[in-house]
Amino acid sequence: MKKSFLITGCAGFIGSHMTDYILKKGHKVIGIDNLTSGKKKNISHNLQNKNFKFFKLNLSEIKKITKVKKIDYVLHFAGHGELIPSIERPLEYFNNNSFNTAKLIDFIRSKKIRLKKFIYAASSSCYGISNFKTHERAKVKIEHPYAFSKFIGEQIVFHWGKIYKIPVISIRIFNAYGPRSRTTNVYGAVIGVFLKQKISSKPLTIVGDGKQKRDFLFISDLCDAFYKATLSNHDQEVFNLGNGKPRSINDLAKLIHNNYTNIPWRPGEPKVTHADIKKIKKMLNWKPKTSLEAGIKHILKDLSYWKKAPLWTVKKIKKATKNWIEFLQN
């Protein structure tokens, strides 16, 4: 039976892939994006699809959606997603990631929408710099405004869900990657940064010795997990989402380019991100299918998306991370 999905941040990296995924399943998508960081070209191929209705607006304007008669599921991806700017603009991050999340779920409450599931895209940043395999029961350790804003958003949806009987699941994403991934964040978007450097015939900038590991998850595996979450009977649950098999930055670099340079180790650079995915595998009957080799091979087939992306050089990275390093040393 055809269902109706409200997807926020539908023109962003993850949101646009989730939109593609749901439409291919034959369902309807109501997409929301203010196009500040999301790109219209990410959804342009769907604009003529009768099952896709796009609203260009901020979540603070969610009440402007008056003609939507039915919403079965909400997949909430909208928000600010970069670490370093959050230190410089903390209130902006709180407004976007926390307060706007409250406005979204309260819209569901106030409209008396009989929602089957509200899925919140949370961040593994709530665990801080853990440097070990991280279970959902791991202690929350907030280290910057971005992590704070995302964690507060998670608490908001759980509270609204419990009080107003809205089924809620939060999925804490580790290192997602794939086509359309952005390059603006020099700390998190390492694959996008490397791809632009490759296109520009510049050396890849590897932090330290490159032995640090990241839990890279390909976007199609992420979409599978979110879809399974919507169809599940679970409520008030947190799931970690990663590949479960961290790979080194050196491994990644070798798959992309044979020219690279090492830059100094930075404060706040975890030695490993490692999602314990036993819970999501068991409760959602999900498992990752795409190896890092297969995921990078898929991306390298078409690098045109990153041609106009900003190029991060050693000098630019040093300048962009200056405030972050000073923040950690205070």
Domains of the chain, start order: 4-176+217-241 (3.40.50.720), 181-215+245-272+290-329 (3.90.25.10)
What confidence score (pLDDT) does residue 187 get?
46
Predicted confidence (pLDDT) per residue in 293-308, tens digit: 999 999 999 998 888 8
Percent of the chain with pLDDT over 90: 78
Average pLDDT value for residue range 278-294: 98
What confidence score (pLDDT) does residue 253 get?
97
What confidence score (pLDDT) does residue 188 get?
52
Predicted confidence (pLDDT) per residue in 206-225, tens digit: 999 999 999 999 999 999 99
Predicted confidence (pLDDT) per residue in 91-138, tens digit: 999 999 999 999 999 999 999 999 999 999 999 999 998 888 999 999
Q: What is the DSSP letter of 55?
A: E
What confidence score (pLDDT) does residue 88 get?
86
Q: How high does pLDDT run on average in the chain?
A: 92
Predicted confidence (pLDDT) per residue in 16-60, tens digit: 999 999 999 999 999 999 999 899 999 999 999 999 999 999 999
pLDDT at 284 over 50: yes
What confidence score (pLDDT) does residue 330 get?
61
What confidence score (pLDDT) does residue 327 get?
64
What the block records as the tokens of 176 is 């997602």
Predicted confidence (pLDDT) per residue in 150-161, tens digit: 999 999 999 999
What confidence score (pLDDT) does residue 324 get?
62
Average pLDDT value for residue range 279-303: 97
List all residues 6 or more positions away from 273 whose beta carbon is below 8 Å from its beta carbon.
Answer: 124, 130, 134, 174, 175, 213, 214, 215, 242, 246
Pairwise CA distance, residues 231 & 248, whole Å:
34
What confidence score (pLDDT) does residue 197 get?
92
Nearest-10 crossing angle of helices 249-256, 292-300: 30
Highest mean pLDDT among 2-6, 80-84, 185-189, 308-312: 2-6
What confidence score (pLDDT) does residue 185 get?
55
SS3 189: coil
Closest CA to 78 of 111, 42, 31, 124: 31
Amino acid at 174: F
Predicted confidence (pLDDT) per residue in 73-83, tens digit: 999 999 998 77
What confidence score (pLDDT) does residue 1 get?
85
List all residues 6 or more positions away from 221 whose beta carbon is below 8 Å from its beta carbon.
Answer: 243, 288, 289, 290
Residue carrying the six token digits 């050089």: 313
Structural element, H or E, at residue 297? helix 292-300
Compute how many other C-beta atoms are within 10 angstroms of the C-beta atom of residue 178. 22
